[in-house]
Chain A
Amino acid sequence: MPESIEQDAILCRRLSVGDEQAFTVLYQRHSPIVYRYARSLGGDPTLADEIVQEAFLVLIRRPASFDPQRGELTPWLLGVARRMLAKRRSLDARALPLDVEGPQGDPPAPDLDALEALTRQERMACLRHAIEGLPSEFREVITLCDLEEISYQQAAEILETPVGTVRSRLHRARGLLARKLTALLPGAAKSLEEKPR
């Protein structure tokens, strides 16, 4: 068993007998990624705080439900956070089925050269806005694989889908993100019109 998993397993056992120090270590180690994931999917810092709280409450109440034999604590916590978000998002109009909004096949090649011409601040603002505009299924795969650099295997565990689905979803998500981003860039319309299809 990898050392990080073993350490987390020991900390969880200590947490199960009320060791607050163990909780602090676990929280400091894992809460930032859970927060960023929830923030990216939920969009709202207050909601992200609530999701972090709920996910860690599950760990506090049932530390034994994390089985180190089955993987690391981070994907486990992200899976819990995802289920919490899904419950809350069930009424969210943005959670559209993939087939409704997602592009099929290869999207047209966008021209992202204009990205480089922007200041860092402008670039980040455009990117955030474009990510927020993605359907949630695409947003979460971009968040997990590109922003948090989680392995495809772990992403598949969190999303409860096969690894192949993660790969194809990520491919489509990047394509859609690139198109959305291009549309947000100055002169984007012109750039797309001029591009031969």
Chain B
Amino acid sequence: MNHDPLLESLRELAAEQAGDRPSAAVEQSLREAVRRRHGVRRVRLALGGLAAAAALTVAIWTGMRMDEPETALAPAPETPSYRVTEFLPLDLGHPDPRTVTAGRLTRVTLPPTAPSSMGLPISPYAFPEGIQADLLLSEDGTPQAVRFVVPYR
């Protein structure tokens, strides 16, 4: 069976169709989907940060009322039994926590979901009873940043 004229015509058709493209509206819509999706993610993270900050504020307020001991701004004493994460800014419009030169550090217990709400890969199931964190407060008592205290296991 001779298919040559057929294959030749198919090649011609392929060349003719090579310029076919989806409509411009499709690309526009998909670009918006990319923006929307990652915008939503950012909002979620920000909301997570706000929620964590709110939880922290409540925890601090409660802690202060109970006269819990506070430590100075110097790094929390670390023992081989645990490690700490980097300080994470609470993103409430305050300056970069690394520029804070005075303030105080308070250790609090946060809900198990606090690390993941701030984008850390720490499962809420790892600390079902809450996770310890160091809260960096500026001189006026405003929360600036938080770091999580993770025990070695």
Given contacts A31-B21, A128-B13, contact A18 B34 (CB under 8 A): yes
Output the least CB separation between A74 and chain B (Å). Answer: 15
Interface contact B22-A52, CB-CB below 8 Å: yes
* In the complex, chain B residues whose CB is within 8 Å of the CB of A116: 5
Given contacts A24-B31, A123-B9, contact A149 B20 (CB under 8 A): no
Contact with B along A6-50 (1 / 0, CB 8 A): 000000000101101001100100011011100100000100110
Q: In the complex, A120→B31 CA distance in Å? A: 38
- B10 sits at the interface (CB 8 A): yes
**B26 in complex: contacting residue of A24, A49, A113, A146, CB < 8 Å:** A49
Interface contact B33-A60, CB-CB below 8 Å: yes
Interface contact A146-B14, CB-CB below 8 Å: yes
Q: Which of A87-95, A155-163, A170-178 contacts B (4 or more CB under 8 A)?
A: A170-178
* In the complex, chain B residues whose CB is within 8 Å of the CB of A142: 10
Contact with B along A108-144 (1 / 0, CB 8 A): 0110110110001001100110010000000000100
- A70 sits at the interface (CB 8 A): no
- B3 sits at the interface (CB 8 A): yes
Interface contact A57-B30, CB-CB below 8 Å: yes
Majority-rule SS of B interface residues:
helix
Interface contact A174-B34, CB-CB below 8 Å: no
Given contacts A17-B38, A181-B6, contact A32 B20 (CB under 8 A): yes
Q: Nearest A residue to B31 by beta-carbon distance?
A: A20
Output the least CB separation between B5 and chain A (Å). Answer: 4
Interface contact A115-B9, CB-CB below 8 Å: yes
* In the complex, chain A residues whose CB is within 8 Å of the CB of B25: 49
- A147 sits at the interface (CB 8 A): yes
Q: In the complex, A178→B4 CA distance in Å? A: 10
- A106 sits at the interface (CB 8 A): yes
Report B1-54 residues with CB < 8 Å from chain A CB: 1-3, 5-7, 9-14, 16-18, 20-23, 25-27, 29-31, 33-35, 37-38, 41
Q: In the complex, A174→B30 CA distance in Å? A: 36
Interface contact A113-B5, CB-CB below 8 Å: yes
* In the complex, chain A residues whose CB is within 8 Å of the CB of B22: 31-32, 34-35, 48-49, 52-53
- A190 sits at the interface (CB 8 A): no
Chain A CB count within 10 A is highest, among B6, B17, B20, B37, for B6
Query: Would you list the 8 A-B pairs with minimal beta carbon distance, nearest first?
Result: A18-B38, A112-B5, A35-B22, A147-B14, A52-B22, A146-B10, A109-B1, A115-B5
- Of the A-B pairs whose beta carbons lie under 8 Å apart in the complex, a sample of 6, sorted by A's number, is A20-B34, A48-B22, A49-B22, A49-B25, A123-B9, A178-B1
Given contacts A53-B29, A60-B37, A107-B1, 10 further A-B contacts (CB under 8 A): A17-B38, A24-B27, A31-B27, A36-B20, A49-B23, A52-B22, A113-B5, A127-B13, A147-B13, A149-B14
